């Protein structure tokens, strides 16, 4: 709400006129929830002041409010209370409070370091196309946006990175920023401490293996589907086709960056991207979706059932049944939200069903990819997408816990009954 009030001021727009509040609220929500969907073009509609406000919202939303609050507490030399440590433990998806403050310091250090390197590499490339001051500003903006999986860009006219579809440096740096931001800070911390511990945690192994599989599998599918599509890849050299296929596979990790025209993709590719967006990034990261670990737990449960095993086993570790139940609950809640929002928008927006499903899933997964529907949304449509971005960033389970009545411990268990399944 604070961001919306500021972005609606005349000083925040390039023309000096007030931005309609609903559009300012949409942009502020998208930035804070690190989504990237916008009803007005960030590069041309907002002034430099407005863009900096958006960038600050992205950084706060990406790192997390509690992480930023803790950072300010460090600067003010204020003691972190037990209550704040407990909230941080939940915010960073930790099983205990041990080392939680050290992890917060690492989160900030990793973020600033990775964003700094990304900004430098982007600046070097943009110097060939822009004035030095503009190149530095564009480098910083896009490094922060892409690392936080926000997908905002200032290229103008909703172009994203389509002008750089054949540029290896821009594509590779963008993918590395998206992947490092989407892995999660716990995984990054685990990787940097590998030399000391000599082993990776189960969480890190699952995140790395599932993320790698989804990126590689996604790139192959997109490459095969779009190879002969005259609207996207057909005219591109082989190397550029491979590069664009990988970026379009990495982007649904919730980054919202594209080098191909999404509206020109084949319907099979568009629907496949919807699936990737729904899965999203990893826990404790700057991304959204149901998360790669949730998807892995579901696959593990299916595989165990097919093999007639009682336990879900990953990397020689057994998952607790409570984790599998949580994964199933989260997925069903997420599906219910996406289906409900899609049905509502299908009645309020006069557009193709797949375009609406794509938009809703992009908002829920805090991805930011669009087939062009965002700018054409009605007032009701904008409100629904704002709510989906907000819920997607909070997580459906978080919202469910917040709204549900206080749970009381059951004093007895009901007798076991049987129903026919399948």
Where does the pLDDT of residue 96 fall: very low under 50, low under 70, confident under 90, or very high at 90 and above?
low
**Span 367-379, mean pLDDT?**
93
Whether the pTM exceeds 0.95: the reply is: no
| pLDDT tens digit sequence for 174-217 | 999 999 988 887 788 888 888 777 788 888 999 999 999 999 99
Residue 16's pLDDT is what?
Answer: 92
* Residue 93 scores a pLDDT above 60: no
CA distances from 155 to 56, 120, 170, 179, 184 (A): 19, 18, 13, 22, 28
Evaluate the CA torsion angle 319, 253, 236, 374 in order and state its sign. positive
For residue 233, what are the contacts with CB-CB under 8 A and spacing of at least 6? Answer: 223, 226, 227, 241, 244, 245, 260
**Span 96-115, mean pLDDT?**
76
* Residue 236 scores a pLDDT above 80: yes
CA dihedral 240, 130, 14, 49 (to 10 degrees): 100
Residue 254's pLDDT is what?
Answer: 80
Longest Cα–Cα distance of the chain, Å, equals: 74
| b/e burial code for range 384-397 (CB count within 10 A of at least 16 → b) | bbbebbbbbbebbe
Measured between alpha carbons, how far is 287 from 61 in angstroms, rounded to an integer? 10
* Beta-strand relationship, 312-314 and 317-319: antiparallel
Measured between alpha carbons, how far is 56 from 155 in angstroms, rounded to an integer? 19
* Residue 74 scores a pLDDT above 80: no
* Residue 121 scores a pLDDT above 90: yes
- Asked if residues 173 and 181 have their Cβ atoms less than 8 Å apart, the reply is no
Where does the pLDDT of residue 287 fall: very low under 50, low under 70, confident under 90, or very high at 90 and above?
confident
Where does the pLDDT of residue 15 fall: very low under 50, low under 70, confident under 90, or very high at 90 and above?
very high
Measured between alpha carbons, how far is 312 from 48 in angstroms, rounded to an integer? 51
Which residue, 375, 384, 376, 377, is CA-closest to 344?
Answer: 384
3-state secondary structure 176-223: HHHHHHHHCHHHHHHHHCHHHHCCCCHHHHHHHHHHHHHHHHHHHHHH
């Amino acid at each position: 709400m604070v961001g919306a009030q500021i972005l609606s001021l005349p000083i925040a727009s390039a023309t000096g006129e007030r931005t309609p509040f609903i559009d300012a609220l949409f942009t502020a929500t998208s930035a804070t929830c690190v989504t990237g969907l916008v009803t007005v073009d960030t590069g041309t509609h907002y002034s430099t002041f407005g863009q900096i406000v958006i960038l600050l919202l992205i950084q706060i939303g990406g790192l997390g409010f509690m992480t930023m609050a803790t950072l300010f507490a460090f600067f003010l030399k204020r003691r972190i209370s037990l209550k704040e440590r407990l909230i941080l433990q939940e915010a960073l998806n930790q099983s205990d409070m041990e080392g939680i403050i050290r992890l917060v310091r690492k989160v900030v250090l990793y973020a600033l370091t990775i964003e700094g390197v990304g900004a430098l590499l982007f600046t070097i490339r943009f110097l060939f196309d822009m004035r030095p001051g503009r190149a530095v500003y564009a480098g910083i903006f896009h490094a922060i946006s892409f690392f936080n999986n926000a997908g905002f860009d200032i290229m103008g006219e909703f172009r994203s990175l389509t002008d750089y579809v054949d540029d290896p440096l821009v594509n590779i740096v963008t993918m590395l920023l998206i992947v490092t931001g989407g892995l999660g800070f716990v995984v990054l911390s685990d990787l940097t401490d590998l030399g000391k511990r000599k082993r990776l945690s189960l969480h890190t192994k699952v995140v790395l293996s599932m993320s790698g599989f989804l990126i590689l599998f996604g790139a192959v599918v997109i490459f095969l589907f779009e190879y002969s599509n005259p609207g996207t890849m057909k005219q591109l050299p082989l190397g550029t086709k491979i590069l664009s296929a990988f970026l379009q596979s990495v982007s649904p990790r919730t980054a919202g960056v594209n080098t191909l025209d999404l509206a020109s993709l084949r319907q099979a590719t568009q629907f496949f991207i919807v699936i990737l967006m729904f899965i999203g990034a990893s826990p404790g990261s700057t991304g959204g979706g149901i998360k790669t670990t949730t998807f892995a737990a579901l696959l593990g449960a299916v595989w165990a059932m097919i093999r007639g095993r009682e336990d879900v086993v990953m990397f020689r570790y057994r998952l607790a049944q409570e984790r599998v139940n949580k994964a199933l609950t989260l997925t069903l809640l997420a599906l219910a939200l996406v289906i409900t929002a899609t049905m509502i928008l299908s009645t309020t927006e006069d557009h193709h069903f797949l375009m609406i499903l794509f938009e809703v899933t992009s908002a829920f997964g805090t991805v930011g990819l669009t087939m062009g529907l965002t700018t054409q949304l009605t007032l009701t449509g904008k409100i629904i997408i704002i709510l989906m971005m907000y819920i997607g960033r909070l997580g459906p389970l978080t919202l469910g816990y917040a709204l549900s009545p206080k749970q009381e411990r059951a004093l007895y268990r009901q007798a076991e009954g049987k129903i026919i399944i399948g």
